[in-house]
A = this chain, B = another copy of it.
Amino acid sequence: MELSEAPHAIEAILFVSGEAVAVPELALALGLSEMETMHAVELLQKEYESQTRGIAIRRYGDHLKLETRAEYAPYVERLLQPVQRQTLSQAAMETLAVIAYSQPATKGEVEHVRGVKCDYSVQSLLHKGLIQEVGRKEALGRPILYATTDKFLEHFGIADVRELPPLPQLTGAAQQSDEPPLTP
């Protein structure tokens, strides 16, 4: 396709699909390289932003999604009852925080940090698609390693895990060497 047409073709595709679309799939549909596709996406994003449109293109990891701008939420909610994403329980959020900040992490590592069994919250996060199995740890029992997904990014409205605030630095507590290594 013509490169100049690409941004608006992307707009049409994202509009129709509703859900987040993976960049490689988008590139395939357009018959463009992934680099050309991302370039077109950036053009479109700029166009949207310069006009403060009602909708915006957001990137979640490797996925792109067309969504409303947060500032128009009151008007949208006044007329429609949009399907709200469910918020996570405290237990699930804690489990997710440990995995997000120390990924990839095993269930055992999460349980060590939280001090409770985490079977249920890990299952629930897997089911919601917020975490995924990414391999096995080379350790006794070869436990499954978990990491966050692009859907996790979408749930929290960030493009990359690095956009999460850094782990809070606690004053007065000596850092211990037996903690799981963290990569915030």
Contacts and interface: CB of A to CB of B under 8 A. Distances in A.
Interface string A2-32: 0000011111110111000100011011100
Contacts of A29: 75-76, 78-79, 82
A79 B21 CA distance: 9
Given A28-B82, A82-B28, A75 B13 contact: yes
A52 interface: yes
Nearest to A25: B79
A114 interface: no
Contacts of A26: 79
Secondary structure at the A interface, as helix, strand, loop or mixed, is: helix
A72 interface: yes
Contacts of A76: 12-13, 16-17, 29
Interface in A56-99: 66, 68-69, 72, 75-76, 78-80, 82
Contact residues on A (Cβ < 8 Å of other chain), bracket: 20 to 34
25 contacts: A8-B53, A8-B69, A9-B54, A9-B72, A9-B75, A11-B53, A12-B54, A12-B72, A13-B76, A13-B79, A13-B80, A15-B68, A16-B82, A17-B76, A17-B79, A25-B82, A26-B79, A28-B78, A28-B79, A28-B82, A29-B78, A29-B82, A30-B75, A30-B78, A47-B51
